[in-house]
Structure 1
């Protein structure tokens, strides 16, 4: 049975001129996707960054027909539609400002596997690069990881195939609709990946792989991974974009050093030279950097919430976010805590009265 809220979530993501940030902002103010569409235009216009055009787009009814078809097709093709407020949504993405508001997933792996590693690199992979990629995957097999890459030619597909060989769950992040594998040559590999891993996209059915979608795909790869390994890369290209996202998200980046003077080595050597990546020489580099030698691989991924005596769970969650991130805007607190705006305002007022936090100009808050 189709959920009316799920249809509304898909419809909200289809609204013209809307982006992931505004979707989350609307949810934080209105409480749910259904409520966004029920909110009168006059009230929508009072929400920051919601102008006349966007308010009119939200009021249009035609997108609900398209959203209903998408949900129907997802049910038919066993595709999970995951909104950012859903429990299944990747926790690693949830705290990122530019994370997708909605994801389309097909497969059997958990998107919150305790250990995740991205392996990326050039499409023009060398024999050395192929050997190193397979060796990295083989060495990681004992650590119960989910391996993430982009299903592209070169390093990506070599990594995916090596994962199948070593029985490691692997997830392919796509820059197009979930119903089509690009490039088509990798369809058989993607089908095998569904048995223990899966494929994931922020795009609904039928979306073609346009050039702007590939960098956006790379942010998901970086955001879902504890660390990104760049095997071979030119001085410019998708692998370096993924590494830049990972650095911006404060995730570990590793690069395999390459032969001086070779184009396929320039990107990795540049990352290492500019301190944008740690040098990768062996799997223990990863193990030590991520403290895998100190933690149990069966520990579930959790967003840590400090124990503040006397505070409610919601209050503790807000305090944990402020401790972690420092000064935060109320909108960002709402997105990351998933507490809608009216309730959050009451929580912040209570915490301020108790002396835990202080309000700052511009609707910002910090711990006292």
Structure 2
């Protein structure tokens, strides 16, 4: 690790009201984080959108001292540091303008070439939400996705525990530094998650826990993944903020519908009604919309593990595809006389049995 570069980035993070996007802009203009700290004030002031007040604070020596103290903590506790312009930084987060310039990590996280799904929701999750979350993760487990969440009460910890149960990698994004765990009752899950996954944060060891940190944490949850799933939410809440951020990043958002008079379904129903989220009623919806499919290297193993005789509807679909070649879901549903919502589930089951495979353009063909 280039300690001088890291120290410079950390020092810039201490500048008052200088966010990640502005830091990136300064570095792009000057050439390096070290260069920004060394550049003359008169030259920095000329950079559009930075402002005189922030420029003057860049040369505050206290910032570099604070950075040195944090680096000492990082080295002592073997904290990973992912820098926004380096190869090991999460791919999808690189495309977020406000993605952290330094992302701290702990555990055994590997996001390269992975299907990544964020799952969020209310802290007061109901039995309905819990069962849906657990069933969703169980059904998509053969596809080996990474499950991202906030390690909070309710939906978050339900999703991460279910992921660990099915030996899926799971990552908790924290709203505080890696010197603490909130809530404290979740400490018992830390070692299990770090064995196959871990934790991300951009907060320092000196940052005390504060609810205002959730907004910063939520942008990491949304930015890491290709899609965000909301399972139960009131009319207002952090989950809806995460969904809005995901939409701003042009990522898919899914919401689980509920009864119209259920307070913890109002947020999800609103996302669906306002077309800010796809309706999610089963794992098949997710697999279809994201065009997920089994990795070629795992296909044989999964086929062998899950293969069973096809039921009557699956035989009908398989015979149709065998004769007609690749087709769209809607065409399959029409020709096989199976409701569209049910056809999606049938196709997912057939994929897991190794009988069909999805293709780009939301097509399916028999194997």
| Structure 1 position 112, deviation (Å) | 3.6
Distance in 2, matches of 1:153 and 1:34, equals 40
Secondary structure of the corresponding residue to residue 263 of structure 1: coil
Distance in 2, matches of 1:92 and 1:56, equals 33
| Aligned counterpart, 1:223 | 223
| Aligned counterpart, 2:68 | 68
CA contact (8 A) 1:113 1:146 kept: no
| Aligned counterpart, 2:188 | 188
Secondary structure of the corresponding residue to residue 178 of structure 1: coil
- 1:223-302 aligned within 5 A: 223-293=223-293
- 1:12-23 aligned within 5 A: 12-23=12-23
| Structure 1 position 108, deviation (Å) | 0.9
| Structure 1 position 217, deviation (Å) | 1.3
Asked whether 1:198 is paired with 2:212, we answer no
Distance in 1, matches of 2:62 and 2:284, equals 54
- 1:1-368 aligned within 5 A: 3-293=3-293
Distance in 2, matches of 1:238 and 1:291, equals 28
How large is the Cα RMSD of the aligned pairs? 1.8
Secondary structure of the corresponding residue to residue 265 of structure 2: helix
Secondary structure of the corresponding residue to residue 128 of structure 1: helix
| Structure 1 position 51, deviation (Å) | 2.8
Structure 1: 5+ residue stretches without partners: 299-368
| Structure 1 position 259, deviation (Å) | 2.1
Distance in 1, matches of 2:286 and 2:247, equals 16
Q: Structure 1 residues 229 and 105 mapped into 2: Cα distance closer, same or farther (>3 Å)?
A: same
CA contact (8 A) 1:102 1:202 kept: yes
Count of aligned pairs between the two proteins: 298
Distance in 1, matches of 2:208 and 2:111, equals 24
| Structure 1 position 113, deviation (Å) | 4.4
| Structure 1 position 126, deviation (Å) | 0.8
Secondary structure of the corresponding residue to residue 264 of structure 1: coil
| Structure 1 position 145, deviation (Å) | 1.0
CA contact (8 A) 1:89 1:111 kept: no
Distance in 2, matches of 1:188 and 1:82, equals 26
Structure 2: 5+ residue stretches without partners: 299-367
| Structure 1 position 152, deviation (Å) | 0.9
CA contact (8 A) 2:143 2:294 kept: no
- Which sits farther off after the overlay, 44-53 or 23-32? 44-53
| Aligned counterpart, 1:313 | none
Distance in 2, matches of 1:29 and 1:194, equals 38
User: What TM-score does the superposition give when structure 1 sets the normalisation length?
Assistant: 0.77
1:211-267 Cα offsets, whole Å, 9 max, x none, are 221122112111111111111111111111111111121111111121231111111
| Structure 1 position 2, deviation (Å) | 6.6
Which structure has the greater CA radius of gyration?
2
Secondary structure of the corresponding residue to residue 212 of structure 1: helix
| Structure 1 position 156, deviation (Å) | 0.4
- Which sits farther off after the overlay, 80-89 or 147-156? 80-89
User: What TM-score does the superposition give when structure 2 sets the normalisation length?
Assistant: 0.77
Structure 1 residue ranges (4+ consecutive) displaced by more than 3 angstroms after TM superposition: 294-298
| Structure 1 position 150, deviation (Å) | 0.5
Distance in 1, matches of 2:215 and 2:66, equals 26
| Structure 1 position 206, deviation (Å) | 2.6
1:305-337 Cα offsets, whole Å, 9 max, x none, are xxxxxxxxxxxxxxxxxxxxxxxxxxxxxxxxx
CA contact (8 A) 1:88 1:111 kept: no
